[in-house]
């Protein structure tokens, strides 16, 4: 291989050497040199999206479903600014992503040139790190370093801004193993004394619980396997955040369901009453804790996380263990076994007795009666008709997202892609595109709300162009349902702008894009309609007309504690007091 190349060639060679097989992008003036090199090679597949936000979310879907970093190419100015939401989304959910943006030539930087934006300035707070490369000699080093940073420690999005003249100029190419990637290397091994202290706590605990999150999935499939082994061997009940679904199988005996604002009754009650909380790769988000001063008041809290800043941020923990989840769980299992595999079985059996009483409340119960489809029913049927299949699910944001988390079961990691931290409407469709690109033979479903779907609906064009058989399952309540629910709860049911007016005909929309459209509004015809969607070999928009005023329960209203949940039959009026009303 020649070592002198143009900057554009260096970029593409670096991507190849990083094992990149797919990039999501959109060209423009400042990006043309790199696009010209892309054109003249076949190793990297370029997926042309319809909007750069779509590229970023597609890359997130690709990354989340494969464990590999997602790669995005965008032009300067508006191309780069359109990735800001995706970058922020990836930052909050710790998704590895490398965005390569073009910049105006170095000589024009700072002159308000055409399509100039201060991209590194704009994206500094929404990336893990970013670089402006002003010298072609630095380019290979920087691109390799970008991959290193995106995938090492707590993963996250990075951005490399490349001026057009740097793409044209010649420079030396260095492969990944020769690149200067700097000193960034967070510790992965947990402290053995701390892990031993945790084992001692586990041996004595009477009411332990595992509270797991996206960190387990980020750590890789091995971490999920270790988590299963540990949970099953110790008989400790387990709950998970929205981001952690699938790390422990939903069909597993120890699974309590998701916790938090729309989590299950048994999860939240168990979190409240436990005496030992083992937080594994989660971060005590406000959607999880509810009211802080009433959050699990009697428990000893242990937190395993690779990021020291996640510890003691909102909740003080008694024992932090800093390290990679997989490494720590491996050591934990080893020490626990070497000390004789002890747990307080009698107490834990009693604890399970209590938990089973909570389970018996059947908190997700709803009634499908009459001629209108309940959203929960639609998801239950979708689950029944797709269970056991090689299935990936993405979602948009809103009530449908929470119902999907409640009613779909995930038995493996990397199968559930949702915007947790940022709550980005418009995430699900492009994410489903990215997932389907990575898994061409699998069933990929985006559970959507009609409002969220409209936010990035242009990506149906991408799905059709690349023959991606993504299934867009829209729970159409003709409402910004989650907003309407909050207005019921804290604004006297004054539904200010929470209607979806002038909705398009989604069946016709599908047809206009060259996809298939299906509409169903009859519970008795739902199974057949879903089957038709599954049987169709191509992209489908499924317009599932559902009950318009259904609210999502259980719910911990903001400002309330885990044991103050609202259940399905609750009155929502005035459920949140003034202190809670200021919260988001």
Ligand X SMILES: Cc1ncc(C[n+]2csc(CCOP(=O)(O)OP(=O)(O)O)c2C)c(N)n1
Residues found near ligand X in the complex (CB under 6 A): 396-400, 423-426, 449-452, 475, 477, 479-483
CB of 479 to Mg ion, least distance (A): 5
Nearest alpha-carbon partner for 204 in 299, 348, 344:
344
Q: Which of 482, 533, 545, 555 is catalytic?
A: 482
52 catalytic per annotation: yes
Question: Which residue from 102, 105, 136, 95 is spatially nearest to 119, judged by alpha carbons?
Answer: 102
Contacts (CB under 8 A) with another protein, residues 113-152: 120-121, 124-125, 128-130, 132, 149
The candidate with the shortest Cα–Cα distance to 64, out of 413, 488, 535, is: 413
If the CB atoms of residues 5 and 482 are measured against ligand X, the closer one turns out to be 482
Question: How near is the Cβ of 428 to Mg ion at its closest, in Å?
Answer: 13
CA angle 102, 105, 111 (to 5 degrees): 110
Binding partner of residue 424 among ligand X, another protein, Mg ion, none, CB cut-off 5 to 8 Å per kind: ligand X
Tell me the three state secondary structure of residue 169: coil
Q: Which residue is nearest to ligand X (CB)?
A: 449
Side by side, the strands of the sheet bearing 238-240 are 255-258, 238-240, 208-212, 276-280, 300-305, 319-322
CA distance 277 to 213: 13
E strand or H helix at 417: strand 416-417
The single residue among 298, 440, 504, 574 that binds another protein, judged by CB under 8 A, is: 298
**What residue 233 binds from another protein, Mg ion, ligand X, none (CB within 5 to 8 A, per partner kind)?**
none
Backbone angles phi, psi at 36, to 5 degrees: -65, -40
Residue partners of 5: CB distance under 8 A and separation at least 6: 13, 170, 171, 173
Closest CB 422 distance from ligand X, rounded Å: 8
Q: Which of 171, 215, 430, 449 forms a contact with Mg ion (CB under 5 A)?
A: 449
Nearest residue (beta carbon) to Mg ion: 449
Query: Between residues 241 and 498, which has the closer beta carbon with respect to ligand X?
Result: 498
CA distance to 15, 45, 67, 479, per residue, from 22 (Å): 9, 5, 14, 36
- Rounded distance, CA 138 to CA 244, Å? 38
Our CB check for ligand X shows the closer of 174 and 555 to be: 555
Closest residue by Cα to residue 287 from 231, 360, 214: 214
Residue number, 37 or 425, with CB nearest to ligand X: 425
Query: Which one-letter DSSP state was computed for residue 322?
Result: E
Q: Give the one residue of 112, 193, 293, 569 binding another protein; rule: CB under 8 A.
A: 293
**Catalytic-role residue among 4, 16, 41, 114:** 114
Residue 579 binds to another protein (criterion: CB under 8 A): yes
Instruction: Give the nearest distance from C-beta 471 to Mg ion in angstroms.
Output: 18
CA distance 516 to 307: 45
Shortest approach of another protein to residue 312 CB, angstroms?
5
Say if CB 453 and CB 396 are below 8 A apart: yes
Nearer residue to another protein within complex by CB, 273 or 550:
273
List the structure tokens of 253: 């005996």
Element housing 518 (H / E):
strand 516-520
Return the exposure string of 324-346: e unless at least 16 CB atoms fall within 10 Å of the residue's CB, then b. bbbbbbbbbbebbeeeeeebbee
CB of 135 to ligand X, least distance (A): 38
**Which CB, 204 or 228, lies closer to another protein?**
204
For another protein, which is the closer residue by CB, 82 or 289? 289
The reply on whether position 477 binds Mg ion by CB under 5 A is yes
453 belongs to the catalytic site:
no
30, 59, 276, 475: which one binds another protein (CB under 8 A): 276
Which one of Mg ion, ligand X, another protein, none is in contact with 546 (Cβ closer than 5 to 8 A by kind)? none
**481 interacts with Mg ion by CB under 5 A:** yes
Q: Which of 68, 115, 137, 465 is catalytic?
A: 115
Q: Which of 2, 183, 369, 497 binds another protein (CB under 8 A)?
A: 183
Q: Which is nearer to ligand X, 363 or 474 (CB)?
A: 474
Whether the Cβ atoms of residue 186 and residue 125 lie closer than 8 Å to each other: no
Q: What tokens does 255 get?
A: 């699974």
3-class secondary-structure state, position 256: strand
Q: How far apart are CA 184 and CA 172, in angstroms?
A: 23
DSSP state of 69: P
Tell me which residue has tokens 């999502």. 552
Please confirm, yes or no, whether 115 is among the known catalytic residues: yes
Q: Catalytic site residue 376?
A: no
Query: How many residues line the site for Mg ion (CB under 5 A)?
Result: 5
**Residues forming the active site:** 52, 114-115, 164, 482
Binding site for Mg ion (CB under 5 A): 449-450, 477, 479, 481
Binding site for another protein (CB under 8 A): 120-121, 124-125, 128-130, 132, 149, 153-154, 182-184, 186, 275-276, 286, 289, 291-293, 295-301, 307-309, 311-318, 558-559, 579, 583-584
């Amino acid at each position: 291989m020649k070592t002198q190349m143009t900057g554009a060639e260096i970029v593409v060679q670096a991507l190849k050497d990083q094992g990149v097989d797919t990039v999501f992008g959109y060209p423009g003036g400042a990006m043309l040199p790199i696009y010209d090199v892309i054109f003249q090679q076949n190793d990297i597949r370029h997926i042309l999206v319809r909007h750069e936000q779509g590229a970023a979310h597609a890359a997130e879907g690709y990354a989340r479903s494969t464990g590999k970093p997602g790669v995005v190419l965008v032009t300067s100015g508006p191309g780069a600014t359109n990735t800001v939401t995706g970058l922020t989304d990836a930052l909050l959910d710790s998704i590895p992503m490398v965005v390569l943006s073009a910049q105006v030539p170095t000589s024009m930087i700072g002159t308000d040139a055409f399509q100039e934006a201060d991209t590194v300035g704009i994206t500094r707070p929404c990336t893990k790190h970013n670089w402006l490369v002003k010298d072609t000699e630095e380019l290979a080093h920087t691109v390799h370093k970008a991959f290193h940073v995106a995938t090492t420690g707590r993963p996250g999005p990075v951005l490399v801004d490349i001026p057009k003249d740097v793409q044209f100029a010649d420079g030396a190419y260095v492969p990944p193993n020769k690149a200067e990637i700097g000193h960034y290397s967070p510790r992965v091994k947990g402290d053995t004394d701390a892990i031993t202290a945790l084992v001692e706590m586990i041996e004595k605990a009477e009411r332990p619980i595992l509270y797991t999150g996206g960190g387990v999935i980020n750590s890789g499939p091995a971490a999920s396997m270790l988590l299963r082994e540990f949970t099953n061997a110790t008989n400790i009940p387990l709950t998970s955040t929205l981001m952690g679904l699938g790390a422990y199988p939903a069909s597993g005996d120890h699974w309590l369901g998701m916790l938090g604002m729309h989590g299950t009754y048994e999860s939240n009650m168990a979190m409240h009453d436990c005496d030992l909380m083992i937080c594994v790769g989660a971060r005590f988000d406000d959607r999880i804790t509810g009211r802080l001063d009433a959050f699990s008041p009697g428990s000893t809290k242990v937190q395993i996380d690779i990021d020291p800043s996640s510890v003691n941020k909102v909740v003080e923990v008694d024992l932090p263990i800093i390290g990679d989840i997989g490494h720590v769980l491996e050591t934990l299992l080893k020490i626990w076994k070497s000390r004789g595999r002890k747990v307080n079985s009698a107490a834990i059996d009693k604890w399970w007795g209590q938990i089973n009483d909570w389970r018996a409340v059947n908190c997700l119960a709803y009634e499908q009666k009459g001629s209108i489809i309940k959203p929960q029913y639609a998801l239950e049927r979708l689950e029944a008709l797709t269970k056991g299949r090689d299935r990936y699910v993405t979602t948009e944001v809103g009530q449908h997202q929470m119902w999907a988390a409640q009613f779909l079961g995930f038995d493996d990691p990397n199968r559930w892609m949702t915007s947790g931290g940022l709550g980005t409407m418009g995430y699900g469709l492009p994410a489903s595109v990215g997932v389907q690109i990575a898994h061409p033979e699998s069933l990929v479903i985006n559970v959507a709300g009609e409002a969220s779907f409209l936010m990035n609906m242009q990506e149906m064009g991408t799905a059709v162009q690349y023959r991606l058989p993504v299934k867009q399952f829209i729970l159409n309540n003709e409402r910004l349902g989650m907003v309407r629910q909050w207005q019921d709860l804290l604004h006297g049911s004054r539904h200010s702008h929470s209607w979806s007016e002038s909705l398009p005909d989604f069946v016709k929309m599908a047809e206009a894009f060259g996809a298939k459209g299906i509409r169903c509004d009859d519970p008795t015809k739902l199974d057949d309609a879903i089957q038709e969607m599954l049987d169709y070999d191509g992209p489908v928009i499924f317009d599932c007309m559902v009950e318009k005023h259904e609210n999502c329960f259980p719910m911990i209203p903001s400002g309330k504690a885990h044991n103050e949940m609202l259940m399905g039959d609750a009155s929502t009026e005035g459920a949140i007091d003034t202190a809670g009303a200021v919260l988001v």
